[in-house]
Chain A
Amino acid sequence: MSETTAGAGPMIRVDGLHKSFGELEVLKGIDLAVDPGEVLCIIGPSGSGKSTLLRCINLLEQPTEGDVWVHGIKLTDQDVDIDRVRAHMGMVFQSFNLFPHLNATQNCMLGQTAVLGRSKAEAKRIAEHNLVKVGLFDRMDYFPAQLSGGQQQRVAIARALSMDPLLMLFDEPTSALDPELVGDVLSVMRQLADDGMTMVVVTHEMAFARDVADRVIFMDEGVIVEQGPAAQVIGAPTQERTQVFLQRVLDPTHVREIGELEPIDVAPAWTHA
């Protein structure tokens, strides 16, 4: 296999990915390819392995078995300099993970100056450009604790964008937000998608997935159960597991009869703190 085929082929390729935590096998053989500019949404119940899959793509979790390729570079190669590749993969976390001792602009600058070696002036310019882009031109010198959850998450997106990433990974970016703040973050993500960013989004926002995703993957118990265009997977799922999941997520107030309850309950989106 060729080690570097940069530019050609998919942006992300995942081959036969397995991940176990001790005895627990979380990913049971995932094959996946994401094209440049594609927006892929991964949906599925808690514990289905979707976050782990995302974290395997930038090797925050070390795969137990299988290979991950990004931009033609085999990340699972022992000798690859993962830090250099990670500098070009943005990641946005559920809990924002902004650096609390730095203000919004400094949060967006640190990676640029420390990792990419940009000058302070250039880093500041790029940081401010991206903060404006996410609608925070008036919050640039605020510290994370002085910002709302939605604003923090938008700073986190600006921080990732400031590294000029080839692709962006989103790990349930709106799950920790108050409902009225979700929209701001989603519209920033929608804008990114429109700009042609390659995005992999683990989400419970079905409306976002339906409207923005080029492709939706439904995962359950460590495998990809169903995938295809958003309209198909969310609009007309063929697999029973997908149907059950979507019914519960799209109508969480649906009251089931006691007899309908299954022994293992699937947590709806709003239970994720």
Chain B
Amino acid sequence: MTQPDHSAAAALTTPSPSSPLTGLDAVAARKGMSPRQKTLVVRIVQYVVFVGVVLAVVFTANWHQLGQVFARSDVLRITFTSTTDVTLGTSKHVINGLLLALCNTIVYSVGAFIIGLLLGTVLALMKLSSVGPYRWVATIYVELFRGLPALVVLLIFGMLPVAFPGLQFPLDPYGTVWLALGMVYAAYMSETIRAGIQAVPKGQIEAARTLGMPAGMATRRIVLPQAFRIITPPLTNDLVSLVKDSSLVYILGLTAQGFELTKFGRNLQNANANLTPIALAGLCYLVITVPLGFLVRHMENKSATRAGAR
């Protein structure tokens, strides 16, 4: 069998077998278009189809109707200028409703994220523990809260003060939301964090222990910082997902002061019988998540620069 062999080593050691298709022969033996020409044709066809679809959408869509449904100017004005009365302690303020809802969405999500991160780290360490009961408890927790819909957990937490009179979560409704969503997301995040911890090479722990660090200190100072660097992208996914799940808070029956974006949009949608407020609220989620994505990519690039060629 004479396979065309182009490896330099082969050329050095064995007399090169004469290839059945060399130089000019290859051109002569070709039928129809060359590979390069085929690629060009395929690409042109794709562009034509793409432009066709865009033109079809532009010319067939009922732009006036779409504008009336999703971007009616008078409703836009109402949405942007609506205000909410806010009571902080004894002082009363009047705040732009959309801005307040945006802030509330951020506060709900970030608080829940922090609780999820802390609890998730504890759960991850428990799951990796050599102590059996720790592992069992962590496993049961993760299975339970990963399996329950976040909406159900929120409802239960919302009802707890009713079921147990006297029970009051701090900073209501924020405490309730932070705890409920935080506990759900801790289950997801613990699995991510566990994977990150396990991705840190064993030699790192050995080096830390060799310096005389006790196991706990080695985990805190050496393993966790590296683990969190590894899992920044999946943790960002969790945070984005949490920002969106904060919309479930509507189920708690909040006062206007606690409205987040979705609840705020829905109220104005009902009042104006128009989808413009909810469309705007939807866009506001992107105002949070898109910069977040840029921030994380920037952080990753920074640590990649540090990591040099690796």
Contacts and interface: CB of A to CB of B under 8 A. Distances in A.
Nearest to B222: A99
Interface string A115-151: 1100000000000000000000000000101100000
A175 B53 CA distance: 61
Interface of A: 58, 60, 83-91, 93, 95, 97-101, 110-111, 114-116, 143, 145-146, 156, 159-160, 163
Contacts of A111: 211-213
> Most chain-B Cβ atoms within 10 A of its Cβ — which of A84, A100, A111, A160?
A100
Given A90-B210, A98-B207, 5 more contacts: A88-B212, A99-B204, A100-B226, A115-B211, A163-B212
Interface string B177-217: 00000000000000000000000010110111111111001
A240 to B, nearest CB: 35
Interface stretch (B20-28, B128-136, B301-309): B301-309
Interface of B: 201, 203-204, 206-214, 217, 221-222, 225-226, 229, 306-310
Contacts, number: 70
B206 A114 contact: no
Contacts of A88: 212
Contacts of A160: 210-211
A249 B213 CA distance: 37
A86 B229 contact: no
Contacts of A146: 306, 308
Contact of A145 (B203, B204, B221, B306): B306
A173 B4 CA distance: 44
A83 B222 contact: no
A155 to B, nearest CB: 11
Contact of A60 (B210, B217, B226, B229): B210
Given A95-B203, A99-B204, A101-B225, A58 B308 contact: no
Contacts of B210: 58, 60, 86, 89-91, 160
Nearest to A89: B210
The 9 closest A-B pairs by CB, nearest first: A87-B212, A111-B211, A97-B207, A145-B308, A97-B203, A115-B212, A91-B210, A146-B308, A86-B212
Contact of A143 (B207, B209, B306): B306
Nearest to B303: A101
